[in-house]
Amino acid sequence: MSTALITGPTSGLGRQFAIQLASRGHDLVLVSRDETRLQELALELGDAHRIECEIIVADLSKGEQLYEVEKRVADERQPIDWLINNAGFGLNDPFLGTDIEAEQALLDVLVRTPMRLTHRALPGMMARGYGRVVIVSSVASWITSGTYSAAKSWATVFTEGVSGELRGTDVNISALCPGFVRTEFHERADMDMKGIPSRMWLNADEVVATSLKDVDRGRVISVPSIKYQALSQGVKLVPRSLVRRFSSMPPALGD
C-alpha cells in the first residue's frame, strides 16, 4: 500500500487530490492548519475507501511546524510515495499596500515549503525506484502579477529544473498550472471575481484528474484544458511589455 502526503487538503484542489488518491487505494497523510476539517476529511475518506488517514496540524508559514512535516516526509519507516505540494496563499492587495510579514508568509508557503518537502522526499523515492511529486503552480507563473506570480514562476521553473535530475528514473515531478478553478481560494483571499467569464472557470475534479494522469506519464508541465494551453503558449510569444500591461489589469490569473 502506497502513501500520499498532501498539503492543504481540506478544500479545493487539495481536497480533490485527497479524494482521488484515496479512491486509488493510497493511504493519506493530510497536512493543514484546520484540525477540525482535517479530522472530518480523514474520517470521511478512511470510511469510504478503507484506507489509513494520518493528520498533521501545521501552519506551513511557521518554520518549526514545517520542520515536523519535513520529518514525516523523510521517515523511511513510513515512506511517502506521492507528495502533493498544494497548500495555497493569496493576497488581495498590491505589493506596496501589503504588510511585509504577509508577503513573507506567502513566500514561506508557496516557495519554502514545496522546496523543503521535495528535497526531503526525493532521496527516498530515488532509493526505492518510484515516486511522484506534484507542485501546484498556476498559469499566473507566466504573467507579472506581484509576489504571487513570482512565487508560481519559481514553482514552475523549480519543477523543470528538478525534472532534469530525475531523467531516466521512475520518479516523476510535475507542475500543475491551472487557470481559474472553482474553489474557495479567491473567496478566502477576498478577491472579487465577478468579471471572469464562466467559460474561463475549471472544475477542481477535472483539474486534479489531469494532473494525476500527467505526473504518472512524466509530463513536467501540466496545463489543464485546451483554452489555458493556448493562452499559455500565447503569453510566451508576445512581448514582455504587453504581458506586464495585461498583468496590471485585475484580477490576475490564479489557482
* Residue 76, SS3 per DSSP: coil
What distance in Å separates the CA atoms of residue 241 and residue 195, rounded to the nearest whole number? 24
Write down the catalytic residue from 67, 130, 148, 228.
148
With a CB cutoff of 8 Å and minimum separation 6, the contacts of 245 are none
Phi, psi of 86 (to 5 degrees): -115, -20
Q: Is 148 a catalytic residue?
A: yes
User: Cβ(117)–Cβ(7) under 8 Å?
Assistant: yes
Cβ-based neighbours of 230, under 8 Å, separated by 6 or more: none
| Burial annotation 23-52 (CB, 10 A radius, 16+ → b, else e) | eeebbbbbbbbeeebbeebbeebbeebebe
Residues annotated as catalytic (active site), given as ranges:
148
